[in-house]
Amino acid sequence: MLNLVLFGPPGAGKGTQSELLIKKYELKHLSTGDILRGEIAAQTELGMKAKQLMDKGMLVGDDVVIGMIRNLLKEHSGAKGFIFDGFPRTNEQARALDELMMEVGSEITQMVALDVPEDELIVRLLARGKDSGRADDSNPEIIKNRIKQYHLKTAPVADYYNNQGKYHTISGIGTVEEIFSRICGQIDAVAK
Ligand code: AP5
Ligand code: MG
């Protein structure tokens, strides 16, 4: 199985690249952000609770997202592999993911981190915020808080994978196609 963690700060291009990667490698895309936005659109209780945190750029509780991933891994047990996008976002989520993968007799192949400078992230997210309808893209203060939460809670997850020899970083600057080609090169270099 190819199980890729696509990592990077808000606006790094995880969602954009995941769409291309799932086609090429026939993987199942698991984006906790997209799943949570689906819950909000369906106005579920979970969605309504998550919305209060997401709209401020704060992380949703570990238990909530780990539970969602657990269910989806079971639901898609026949998949060729997975792209985890926006998950794991804390060391607790990373430990839980290792356990969940072990339960299904597999493991994370590698983490590919997209490196994009902060000023470029802000430009991208504000541009999308003009018509995305995403409350967390709508103003610079919320975007800055998302980046702050990333540095506080999510950046340490890179060390978690680095300690396992699974962490690789690539430049997330350039055209979508250029970055896609860099990620594919990295995936193919580690493919078993
Ligand atoms: P989530 O949905 O995961 O958002 P995010 O990581 O903050 O950032 P984005 O999804 O906006 O960025 P991206 O890296 O996918 O970039 P994209 O391809 O879209 O999370 C949202 C919220 O949900 C969190 O704040 C939290 O509250 C909650 N949440 C989610 N997962 C959680 C978890 N595991 N634990 C706890 N809480 C969780 O690109 C961004 C923009 O740039 C687009 O407009 C795109 O067109 C453009 N772009 C892409 N590539 C390029 C390029 N090469 N050049 C120029 N522009 C580009
Ligand atoms: Mg995304």
Question: What is the per-residue pLDDT across 18-27, written as a single tens digit (0 to 9) for each?
Answer: 999 999 999 9
Atom number in ligand 1 closest to CA 54: 27
d(Cα 39, Cα 49) in Å, to the nearest integer?
A: 10
Report pLDDT digits (tens) over 63-114: 999 999 999 999 999 999 999 999 999 999 999 999 999 999 999 999 999 9
Phi-psi map region of 113: left, alpha, beta (phi>0 left; psi -120 to 50 alpha): beta
Helix, coil or strand: residue 172: coil
Query: What pLDDT does 192 receive?
Result: 60
CB burial string 159-170: b at 16+ within 10 A, e below:
ebbeeeebbbee
Whether residue 122 contacts residue 43, with contact meaning beta carbons closer than 8 Å, is answered with: no
Whether residue 58 contacts residue 146, with contact meaning beta carbons closer than 8 Å, is answered with: no
Q: Which of 84, 89, 152 to mutate to test the pocket of ligand 1 (most atoms within 8 A of CB)?
A: 89
Helix, coil or strand: residue 149: helix
Q: Which residues line ligand 1 (CB under 6 A)?
A: 8, 10-16, 32-33, 36, 53-54, 57-60, 65, 86-87, 89, 93, 124, 128, 136, 146, 175-176, 179
To 5 degrees, how large is the angle CA 136–CA 141–CA 143? 45
**Lowest-pLDDT choice from 47-61, 81-95, 131-145, 157-171:** 131-145
d(Cα 17, Cα 102) in Å, to the nearest integer?
A: 26
Rounded to the nearest 5°, which phi and psi values hold at 27? Answer: -110, 160
Which residue in this structure is represented by tokens 């994978």?
161
- Residue-level length of the chain: 192
Q: In whole numbers, what is the pLDDT of the chain averaged over residues? A: 96
Element (H, E) at 6: strand 2-7
Burial degree of 23 (CB within 10 A; 0-12, 13-18, 19+): exposed
Amino acid at 113: A
- 121 CA from centroid of ligand 1 (Å): 10
Query: What pLDDT does 133 receive?
Result: 84
pTM > 0.95: yes
Residue nearest to atom 12 of ligand 1 (CA): 11
- 25 CA from centroid of ligand 2 (Å): 19
Specify which residues 115 forms β-bridges with.
171
Residue nearest to atom 30 of ligand 1 (CA): 33
Domains, the chain, ordered by start: 2-191 (3.40.50.300)
Tokens of 69: 């991933």
Helix, coil or strand: residue 104: coil
